Amino acid sequence: MKKLSFNPRPLLLHGVFALLAGSGAFLPALQPAAQAVTEFKLNDPVLAARIDGAPVQAFSVEAMWQLARLKDSQASRTEALESIVANRLLAASARKTYGEAALHANQRVAFAREVTLDEQLLSTLRAVYGKELDLAVQRQPGGKLDALITAQSEPDGAALDAVFGKSDALRLEHVLNPAQLERAKKVTLLRYQLQQGAAGSISLYDVYQRQNVQGRVALFTRQPGFALQQARQHLASFFVQQWVRQRFGEAALADLRQVLSEQQEVVALQQMHGIGADTDSASPVVDQLAKQVKPAQIAAYYRKHREEFERIEKIKARHIRLPDEAAAQSVAKALASGGDFAALAKRHSSAADAASGGDLGWIRHEAKLDWLAQMAFAQPEGQVSKPIRMPAGPHDKASWEIVLVEKRVNGYQAPDSESVRYVASQAIARDAAVEQLSALRVRLLREARIDINRSLLDKPASLLENKS
């Protein structure tokens, strides 16, 4: 029995998911490498591996490798297998720990998860087997999938009214109730006949279930031909999946779908740990860890990252207030031609400080700044602003302002301020969450029992090291 050393890169998600995952670069290098107890006894050409006895199809490894090669010609089957193994272990752990509902609670995709997963499956298959699928379509009578349709019809107005209600009705949301869903199941849009006797039909219910908000609005508002168009797209999906079943088998198709599903779950797991999401996104793990950060940790973070808390402490500024846009543009043009700001303020400004050349003096960064001060703080030092219209009520005459910041003095937020506490605790918690997820991955790989089909490995020992 030998040990297989997995490089930290397996958590990198190949293909379209790499961007969603924010890249595995968030995960620190693991030392020592996570080592799964691994055998190389598997010689079934259909299988790439067994993880704790459960099979991983060679078809999935091949598909994910080919998909990765579309973006990186140096991608290897070994890396694809590593990714699948690591994701399978992490996804199973995440489902057990958090539950599927929690994993997908923050998904921003408007489609149902199963629909999104179907689309990702089809996208993967088309990307990898596009040419062969095109040939399969061309072999159909007429070279089109229309030959598979045995009957089709656009539902009439009465049928649509029975399902969706009157098209001119005012609605707060476009959702069918249980009774409407049952009626939608009875409205058949098309019938089809696939190869080897696989026949079926696609109903209005099937189409409705696969729509996002915009699609459901199209159904409710009776956009001509939309329902039938969506039914034909659904048929194309059936054709692709049937082609895979016939060539590679049902188990291969199901395993690839599982691989893609596990990628989704790992992305969700990473986002729960603050990885791959923007810093303002909710992260339950990070939020919980942030509550445990001690004042001493915040103080240490502040000392080490003081530059992150730099801010404008005060500015010295002048301004010119003009009665309308035409006057403001005229003065702006004079300033652009080298006119003296203070002199032009004395001559043209309608503000009370015109006599002093529009001198606003020193403005300190305080909790509440008026509109003009906020505008001044937003301007770079030594650069005359463009004319900006002051806020005014609908019946009030608005003035225009031109601002010059003559001097800016920077300082730092107080180490005991609430903003420092929040930023530091979040940063510390995110680092801790990354380490927590990395440690989980190490533990799962060490506890796993993996049997590898050696014939699929195409990477030298730089990534895979056999240990006695």
Asked if 61 contacts 124 with a C-beta cutoff of 8 angstroms, the reply is no
Strand partners, 364: 314
Inform me whether the pLDDT recorded for 195 exceeds 80: no
Average of per-residue pLDDT across 111-134: 92
Determine contact, residues 169/194, Cβ cutoff 8 Å. no
Backbone angles phi, psi at 320, to 5 degrees: -130, 125
Q: What is the distance between the alpha carbons of residues 233 and 231, in angstroms, rounded to a whole number?
A: 5
pLDDT of residue 62: 96
Tens-place pLDDT, residues 62-82 = 999 999 999 999 999 999 999
Q: Point out the least confidently predicted range of 194-208, 223-237, 430-444.
A: 194-208
Predicted confidence band of residue 182 (pLDDT cuts 50, 70, 90) = very high
Residue 291 is predicted with a pLDDT of: 95
Band (278; pLDDT cuts 50, 70, 90): low
Token pair for 372: 């003009």
- Mean predicted confidence (pLDDT) in 302-325: 95
Tell me the backbone φ, ψ of residue 387, rounded to 5 degrees.
Answer: -60, 130
**Closest Cα to residue 434, out of 22, 100, 75?**
22
**Residue labelled with tokens 């039914």:** 231
Q: Which residues pair with 410 in a beta bridge?
A: 312
What pLDDT score does 25 carry?
34
* Residue 378: φ, ψ to 5°: -85, -10
Q: Is residue 11 very low, low, confident or very high in pLDDT (cuts 50, 70, 90)?
A: very low
Amino acid at 330: S
Residue of 331, 318, 340 whose CA lies nearest to 386: 331
> Is the pLDDT reported for residue 153 higher than 70?
yes
Name residue 314's beta-bridge partners: 364, 409
pLDDT at residue 128 tops 50? yes
The predicted pLDDT at position 281 comes to 64
Q: pLDDT, tens digit, for every residue of 341-380? A: 999 999 999 999 999 999 999 999 877 889 999 999 999 9
Confidence of residue 180 (pLDDT cuts 50, 70, 90): very high
pLDDT band at residue 457, thresholds of 50, 70 and 90? confident
Q: Which is it for strands 34-39 and 449-452: parallel, antiparallel or unpaired?
A: parallel
Q: Does 415 sit behind a cis peptide bond, omega within 30 degrees of 0 on the bond before it?
A: no
- Mapped to the 3 state alphabet, what secondary structure does the chain carry? CEEEEECCHHHCCCCCHHHHCCCHHHCCCCCCCEEEEEECCCCCCCEEEEECCEEEEHHHHHHHHHHHHCCCCCCCHHHHHHHHHHHHHHHHHHHHHHCHHHHCCCCCCCCCHHHHHHHHHHHHHHHHHHHHHHHHHHCCHHHCHHHHEEEECCCCHHHHHHHHCCCCCCCCCCCCCHHHHHHHHCCEEEEEECHHHCEEEEEHHHHHHCCCHHHHHHHHCCCCCHHHHHHHHHHHHHHHHHHHHHHHCHHHHHHHHHHHHHHHHHHHHHHHCCCCCCCCCCCHHHHHHHHCCCHHHHHHHHHHCHHHHEEEEEEEEEEEEECCHHHHHHHHHHHHCCCCHHHHHHHHCCCCCHHHCCEEEEEECCCCCCHHHHHHHCCCECCECCCEECCCCCCCCCCEEEEEEEEEEEEECCCCCHHHHHHHHHHHHHHHHHHHHHHHHHHHHHHCEEEECHHHCCCCCCCCCEEC
Task: Calculate mean pLDDT across residues 408-419.
Answer: 94
Q: How many residues does the chain have?
A: 468
Q: In the predicted model, is pLDDT for residue 107 greater than 80?
A: no
Whole-angstrom CA distances from 19 to 16, 161, 267, 320 are 7, 43, 10, 48
Residue 50: how many CB atoms within 10 A of its CB? 18
First-residue to last-residue Cα distance in the chain: 7
pLDDT given at position 284? 86
What's the token pair of residue 252?
């291969």
- pLDDT bucket at 21, cuts 50 / 70 / 90: very low
Distance of CA 216 to the CA centre of its chain: 23
CB-count burial class (<10 Å; 0-12, 13-18, 19+) for 383 = exposed
With tokens 């003559």, the residue in question is: 406
pLDDT score of 277: 63
Residue 396: is its pLDDT beyond 90? no
The predicted pLDDT at position 17 comes to 28
